[in-house]
Structure formats: C-alpha cells, structure tokens
Amino acid sequence: MLLKLPIKMSAGLGLSLIDRAVKESFASRCTNEDLERIRQYFLSQGVFRCLYCGSENPSRWDHLHAVSRGGDTVPGNLVPACQRCDDSKQDKDVAEWLKGKAKHRPPLEALSRIEAEIREYQSYFAHEPREFESKLSDDDQAKYKRFRQEIEALRMHLKNEGLLK
C-alpha cells in the first residue's frame, strides 16, 4: 500500500484544538485507580469491548460527552472504544453520531442497546453529564468569554490574511 500524505493541519483545526485544550483546563480528571474501577465495571459486564460496535479490542477511552462540550475525564463519562469508532464519533453524542452520516458509525438499530448500557453505567457511577457553560463559576465564565474574544479576533485576522477559508 502506498503511504498517504501526512494529515494537513488547517488553521481552523488549530483554533478548535486550542479551544478544546482550554476547555480541558476546566474539566475534572480522575486518577489511574478510578480508571481501574471503570475497567473492572466493564469487565464485570462480560468481555472488555468497544461499547459501540462490540469489537473485543478497544484501544481508547472515549468521552461519551465530549470535552469540547463540557465532558470530564471521569468514571461515568469514559467508555472503552475501538479506534475506528472513536475516530468516527469525534465530539458528537451517541444519538447524533448514529443518526448522522459519519463513516464507520454503528447501525441506528444499535442505538437503544448502546443508550441502555450508557444509562446503567452512568447510574452505577452516579454521573450526570453537564454542559460546558453550566459547570463554570461566574469568574471562569468571564475568563472563558475573554479567551473566546481573543480566538475570534485571531480567526478574523487569519481570514483577512487569507490563511483561513
């Protein structure tokens, strides 16, 4: 097989990665012991597998509720996923992903099974997903707003220079 061209990093993608990194600085992050508790939970459900397609070789921890939307790196939000599903899902929630047009999404018929497994998992760890803005204090909201203004200014600047489509 021929080697493909390396992925091109667009300025727009770069800006969204900065946004995600800043959002991650407001997110909770669990310990390795917590991660082991998650692993044990899924092991106790049977084979340790991709929550979405059932593949028996999950290689990633997917955020059910994406970091860019306020998701935390905690039990109740991390699920084992295979690389293919994780790459396909990106920052969408499960229903959005399965109803969408992403390549390699599981069939829509799998939605109710996946959602039931997610409900059980989240209630086991008493986890309730929160939207990004709603978990910030007033101070942090102001901080994030100032950051967004800078990002928008940078976006306009790149656009005016023809560096961003």
* Interface residue list for Zn ion (CB under 5 A): 50, 52-53, 55, 82, 85
* Smallest distance from Zn ion to CB 74, Å: 21
Question: 60: which strand partners?
Answer: 81
Contact 77, 64 (CB under 8 A): yes
| 55 vs 73, beta carbon nearer Zn ion | 55
Q: Give the number of other Cβ atoms within 10 Å of residue 144's Cβ.
A: 18
Supply 145's token pair.
């707003």
Residue type, 26: F
Residue 126: both structure tokens together: 């008493």
